[in-house]
Structures are given as C-alpha cells and as structure tokens.
Amino acid sequence: MYFILNKSIKFIPATNELCLVLHDGNSILISNAASRLLDELIRNVNEISTRDELLQKVWEDYGYTSSYNNVYMAVSELRKAITTLGHSKNIIITVPKIGIKLVADVDIFELNRGQNNRSPGPTLSGSESTLNSSEDTVPDLQSEKISDGSPGMHVVVEENRADRTFHNYRWLILPFILLIGMGSLYLQHVQEFSIQKLSLYDSFDFQACRIYIINRSAGYDIAQLRDKALHVIDVNKINCKNGNKSIYFQGNFLRSGLLAEYTLGICSRNEKKNSCETIKHLAG
C-alpha cells in the first residue's frame, strides 16, 4: 500500500520513500521516525494530531523515549523532503502548543495482482483512522476509486504498473522521433551546401623566380602547364638567375593541345623598388 498526496507526491511507508508520481525513478528516503509520523498524520488527514498522541504512537509504542523536540525534528525533515520535490512545505502545519496537521488530499493505492482483493474503506474516528474490509471483489487490472465521504480520503486499486509507466512516458516518443528527423535533415543540409575551398594558384620555384600557374583550377594538366611556363620564360629571355621575381603565367590551349596564347606577368621582388610588366601573346 502507498499514498498519493495532492495527486502528485507518492509516499511508500514500507520503504520510507517520497517521490513524485510522474517521476518515481528519483525518490527521497526519510528516517523511520519521519515515515511513522507521516503515516500517522495521513490517518488523521486535515485534522490536528496532538503532540502527546504523536509521541505515543510514533515513538513510545515502538519502545523509544521521546520529547517534543523529536516531533519538530521529524516535521522539519518531512518539510525539507517535500520542498525538495518542488512542493510547498505548508502541507504540514504546526499548531503552536497543540500539535501537527496535514492539509492534503490523500489517495490510498493498493496493488491488484489478479487475486480476489478486498477494497479497504477508511473510517475516521477522533484521532485514529482504521481501514475496514468489504466483501466486494475488485476485477483484475482495473482501477476503481471508492470514497466514504471523509474529506480528502480515497481508496484506489492500481492498474498494472507496466501499463501506467507506458502511459506516463509515451508522450516522449513523438518528440524523440521528430528530434532524430530534424537532426538528419540538418546534417544533409550541411553536407549538401558545404563549399570546398580551391587554391587559385599552383606555384613552384625556378632559380630566383617564383612562378604561379593561374589557370590551375580550370582543369588543365598542371605538369603540362609548368613545362609551357618554363618554355615561355625561356622564349621571352626572362632572367631568373639574378634578382628575385614573381612570374604569373596563364596559358590557353587549342583543341590539339598546342599553346595558342598566353599571358605573363613579371614583378620584381625588390624591397627598395617594385615593378611589374606584362607580356601577352595572342594566337594567329
């Protein structure tokens, strides 16, 4: 058996656990004294339990010596656990010099394992609550809520736990699928529109000259262009032995593969004086 406070906080006395109904994977363990105190407050929900009654039923009946300080320490522990779960600590009210009151709507759940279970019906008399058995048989794997008219107290038989877990988390499936789809589209978009950077020139050194092949990216054979560039430099008697020069070569070929026309740009690389000249050879 376990209790649900205000439709959101789950309390399991057998294991001293407090957790949220929709996130029962993360639970808070409370002390035995705090667990017994909360169980007693639930029995008298929305009524004041006097300090002497709590000392008797929570401590002395279990063989422990007690004081009012024990009550307030256990109350403080319960309030801290409840606020950690994101709810107001005002669910537990201290009535000065009188006692403690639990202000909540409490549901009592009992697992149905396919046997003929009897639905417990809570009756509240004074400061003590007892659960009486009825002769009604609860159908297997069905959820039925029974109320005796007491404020905030209901008894519910829980449906199969696996089904409840699926219903609680099935809404996560669709966002997860959408997230995967959007991620795939993004990766395809990046790959489709990525731009590969191309080097505009291929350069090599010849004696004191640095020679740049301008139309390397046009798909011409680079080795052939280098040979043509050296041939054109030799034909135009450009001296690469003395003085640093930067030479820019661009050649155009006929369909036969013969060099039809070319352009040379020759620039000196002198720190004191920079100069450039252009040589252009046209076909015909």
Q: Tell me what the mean pLDDT of segment 243-256 comes to.
A: 75
Phi, psi dihedrals of residue 102, rounded to the nearest 5°:
-95, 115
What pLDDT score does 244 carry?
Answer: 84
What pLDDT score does 159 carry?
Answer: 46
Q: What is the pTM of this model?
A: 0.42
- Give me 223's structure tokens: 């080795």
How far, in Å, CA of 49 to CA of 98, rounded?
8
What pLDDT score does 253 carry?
Answer: 63
- Tell me the residue type at 78: L
Q: Is residue 283 pLDDT above 80, yes or no?
A: no
Average pLDDT, the chain: 75
What pLDDT score does 138 carry?
Answer: 35
Q: Is residue 147 pLDDT above 60, yes or no?
A: no
How far, in Å, CA of 209 to CA of 267, rounded?
10
Place of tokens 């017994």: 36
Q: Is residue 207 pLDDT above 70, yes or no?
A: yes
The contacts of residue 107 (CB under 8 Å, 6+ apart) are 3, 4, 7, 145, 154, 155, 156
**pLDDT band at residue 30 under the 50/70/90 scheme:** very high
Q: Is residue 217 pLDDT above 60, yes or no?
A: no
- What domains are there in the chain, each with its CATH number? 2-159 (1.10.10.10), 202-281 (no CATH)
